[in-house]
Amino acid sequence: VQNITLPTDSQPPLFITTPNNRIETINRYNPDTGTFEVTVHYVVDGTPWGWFPSIENPDFLSMEPSRGYFFNTVGTATWTFDPRTT
């Protein structure tokens, strides 16, 4: 399994939700610092613009298979993940 770069701009999403665009943030724990890091999903006028890390952790641009993640959603959603392994 490979690392996956989070989409930015108009790239196809990794996470498909019903209703659309329900995942708001992805959090991961950094055991070196003992803190959580966050990246935010931006949607402008109903169009997803991608994932952007907070200023405190600018390197949160990808997901790594050896790390754990926590997803915050806006309301209830059904979602699927496209790992893009091919």
Taking only the tens place, the pLDDT of each residue in 24-67 is: 999 999 888 898 999 998 888 877 788 899 898 898 988 888 88
Residue 63: predicted pLDDT: 87
Residue 38: predicted pLDDT: 95
- Quick one: pLDDT band at residue 22, thresholds 50, 70, 90? confident
Residue with the larger pLDDT of the pair 25 and 86: 25
Helix (H, G, I), strand (E, B) or coil at 41: strand
Q: What's the number of CA atoms in the CB half-sphere (13 Å) around residue 64?
A: 8
**What does the alpha-carbon distance between residue 10 and residue 81 come to, in Å, rounded to a whole number?**
17
